Structure formats: C-alpha cells, structure tokens
Homo-oligomer: A and B are copies of this chain.
Amino acid sequence: MPADGGLAVTTDTPTTVEWLTAEQQTHWRAFRGGSARLFAALEHELERDTGLSTHEYEVLVRLSETPDRTLRMAQLADNLAHSRSRLTHTIRRMEEQGLVERLPCIEDARGVNCTMTEKGWQVLVAAAPSHVQSVRDHLVDILTPEQFAALGDAMETVRLHLTGGACHVE
C-alpha cells in the first residue's frame, strides 16, 4: 500500500528517496493487506469462540509458560511489545474478570507480580484448541512448510533488527 508513496506516477521527487520497484510495491501491499486481514480474522474468531481478545490470550500464554505462572509487569509488557500503560489497563480488566491477580513484589518494592489464577488457566486451556485451529486454518495449513518457515525467518530478522538484537523470547 503506502511504500510506493501511492503517487500514481512517480513524479518529481523532492528528496533523494529510493522508491520501491513495482515488484517490491506488490509484495509490500500483499504483506500489509494479508497481515491485517489475518490478524483481524484471528481476533474475530477467538473473540467469538472464547470471549477473549488476542491480547488477553497472549497475556495468559506468557504467564502459563513461567514456572510459577507469574511475571513482573515490565517483563510482560516487553514480551508482548505493549506499553506499560496499556498493560496496566489490560491487566486491570483481566483482574476484574478473575483471570489474573496482582501482588506486590518482595525483591523490588516498585514492582508488581502478575499471576494467572486457576480460572485464568482453565480459560486458556479451553481457548487454546480453537485458536490453534484458527492459526492453522488461515496460515499454517495453507502454506507449504517451506513458505511458512521462510515467513518466520524473515520476520525474525525484522524483529531482531527492531529490538537491536538484544531482546527477549517473543
């Protein structure tokens, strides 16, 4: 979509920007358009089947992967690439639903430990099959293994570039 500048004809270029070729433009639009529709579809199906948003789902996933199902707010925010503020709001809502709870952190009095409740665990277990199926239906199973692997590798390169290489799991 945008990367070509959208200028119907590549008119006078005020700066020395190198425009995208027609091919690059096509790929870029496919990537943007495909990603947008894919994430929208996954979001919609998860919401419909389980009542969770993908963000809530991911919070639960991250918590479920630690030994004590607990994570500091900052680590959670970094993992999810969400702002602190956004995470605070999300966690407050999830706490109201009984999916997680917040406890003060002993080692660092500034910190807050976020733990998933038993209910949160059960909600995640109930939601996972549906979501996995969605991901298969709309992405994994419609690509060849090579295509899917190439997709992952390319985006891993992008991620490393953006996080300066120094970054966490996700």
Chain A residues within CB distance 8 Å of chain B: 1-8, 11, 13-15, 17-20, 23-24, 26-41, 54, 57-58, 60-62, 64-65, 81, 124-126, 128-129, 131-133, 135-136, 138-140, 142-143, 147-159, 161-163, 169-170
Contact = CB atoms under 8 A, between A and B. Distances in A.
B5 A128 contact: yes
5 contacts: A1-B62, A2-B128, A28-B135, A40-B81, A147-B157
B38 A162 contact: yes
Nearest to A124: B6
B23 A149 contact: yes
A65 to B, nearest CB: 5
A81 B140 contact: no
A153 B158 contact: no
Given A30-B156, A34-B156, 11 more contacts: A1-B58, A2-B57, A3-B131, A3-B140, A14-B125, A28-B135, A30-B155, A34-B159, A37-B162, A38-B155, A38-B162
Nearest to A27: B152
A107 to B, nearest CB: 23
